[in-house]
Amino acid sequence: MGRAIPGMIYSTMAAALQRANAELQNLALHDSLTKLPNRTLLEDRIEQAIASCKRAGSGCAVLCADLGRFKTVNDSLGRPAGDALLRTAAERLRAMVRLGDTVSRVGSDEFAILLRNIGKTEDALALARKVIDELSAPVRVHAHELRVAPSVGVSIYPLHGDSAEALIANADAAMYHVKISGRNAARLFAPEMSNCFPERLALENDLREAVGRKELELHYQPKVDVRSGKTTGMEALARWRHPRKGLLLPAEFIPLAEETGLIISLGDWVLREACRQNRAWQNDGLAPLRVAVNISASQLQQRDLVERIAAVLQDSGLEPQWLELEITESVVMQNPTEAIDVLGRLKRMGLQISIDDFGTGYSSLSYLRRFPLNTLKIDASFIQDISGDNNDATIVQAIVSLAHSLKLQVVAEGVENEAQLRFVQATGSDQYQGYLRSEPLPALEFGRLLMLAA
């Protein structure tokens, strides 16, 4: 009996070591938060799927998806909320695929799906559209209703590559193409998309230097009183005079600035320049007008935002009443309780607060009453086809009635012709912006416009 004990101990130790090795291998191949396969295991399974497809003469697909707005959730509500959102996304994706398919977490807020066997390309695209629907659905976390704006890219074997590396890279390129085109969509990879990454990296490097090189400038678009036709204010809009690409509009670089964190320094510059220029026009003897500046989600989350704005006003000499902050409803609804507090402090300083692009987000009317607002801006999409879309006309009328019941001013955006102006007048809107009066103009030209109107 005594001689058997060492053998028993050895056997027990060997079993424990085997379990520990199995656990370590599992940890090495899976994401610790979501328990999904990681990129290493995904690549191995893709290579296996490719080998199987070669033998059968069939195809497989890789989908890459990112959540969009995840950083905003993580920054505003903290990492536990972000983790809960990721786990929910993982569960939803896992529930969508077949037993032999693989869902993997490959980045901070990026997931990849391997479809081991597909009959035709449309099958992969159909699932991609379902992924958009599933990930777009609200997630309830700690009394907050969270939403993301997913983007999905799709690559197909053998059309878009014959290795795991190529299929993932091309699905990722298609996903990035969706991100810069507006999100909430799925795209199949196309060869021209492979140029996105080098171009994006170069653009990011250029954007980091743009402020120092004085390549950024502000253009100003008038806000016009609907009844009198007088200019009552202006919106400052960023432009980037790129040395090779020419004048870039916000849609061409603001998403990149938000994604890379450069939006903070860019937003600070816009605020300083708008206040400086507005005070300069006042010093030149022009009648004081309020200048509106857009505030991003990242700026709103800064703990010292109120102090930073106060410092800008003091440095420029601009009185608070001549500065207006425009914030989209989707931004304030990311964390409405905190937004109410910050915006309340800013309003008490004397600033005006506007909700931009109203009607395109998901504001709760109960929260809307609590926000310390002065103005609602009706999104241009509701104005564009009011003559042919009764639904849009009804929505605009409802927004104006709602705003006025809350003692808010209404600005209609995107007014480009007389018919649209007549409609805006008929609804009772207070002000309008649009090309009917003027496109956004550089400071020098806008100053001349103000002088002619004086």
Looking at the whole model, is its pTM more than 0.75?
no
- Residue 95 buriedness (CB in 10 A; 0-12 / 13-18 / 19+): exposed
On whether the CB atoms of residues 121 and 147 are closer than 8 A, the answer is no
pLDDT score of 4: 47
**207 token code pair:** 């954007």
Residue 416 φ/ψ region, left for φ over 0, alpha for ψ in the -120 to 50 degree band, beta for the rest: alpha
One-letter amino acid identity for 410? V
Nearest to 254 by CA among 194, 328, 167, 308: 328
Rounded to 10 degrees, the C-alpha dihedral 233/235/236/241 comes to -120
pLDDT score of 337: 81
One-letter amino acid identity for 447? G
Which residue ranges form the domains of the chain, and what is each CATH number? Answer: 32-189 (3.30.70.270), 200-453 (3.20.20.450)
For Cα atoms 239, 300, 201, give the angle at the middle one, nearest 5 degrees. Answer: 45
Element (H, E) at 167: helix 164-181
Q: What is the DSSP letter of 30?
A: B
Per-residue pLDDT of the chain (454 residues; tens, 9 = 90+): 444 445 555 566 555 556 555 555 556 688 888 999 998 899 999 999 999 999 999 999 999 999 887 777 766 677 788 888 899 999 999 999 999 999 999 888 899 999 999 989 999 999 999 999 999 888 887 777 777 889 999 999 999 999 999 999 899 989 988 887 777 889 999 888 876 666 677 888 899 899 889 999 999 999 999 999 999 999 999 999 999 889 998 888 887 888 778 889 999 999 999 999 999 999 999 999 999 999 988 888 888 999 999 999 999 999 999 999 999 877 777 677 888 899 999 999 999 999 887 765 545 555 677 889 999 998 887 887 676 556 777 888 888 988 899 899 999 999 999 999 999 999 999 999 999 999 999 999 999 999 987 7
pLDDT score of 25: 57
Separation of alpha carbons 401 and 92, rounded Å = 40
Q: What is the DSSP letter of 286?
A: P
pLDDT score of 222: 97
Residue with tokens 């009959």: 119
**74 token code pair:** 């993580």
Separation of alpha carbons 407 and 418, rounded Å = 27
Separation of alpha carbons 341 and 163, rounded Å = 52
Q: Determine the angle formed by the axes of helices 164-181 and 196-210, rounding to 10 degrees.
A: 50
SS3 content of the chain, % helix, strand, coil (to 5): 55, 20, 25
Separation of alpha carbons 434 and 379, rounded Å = 11
One-letter amino acid identity for 437? R
pLDDT score of 1: 43
- In the chain, count H helices and then E strands: 17, 17
- Phi, then psi, of 145 in degrees rounded to 5: -95, 110
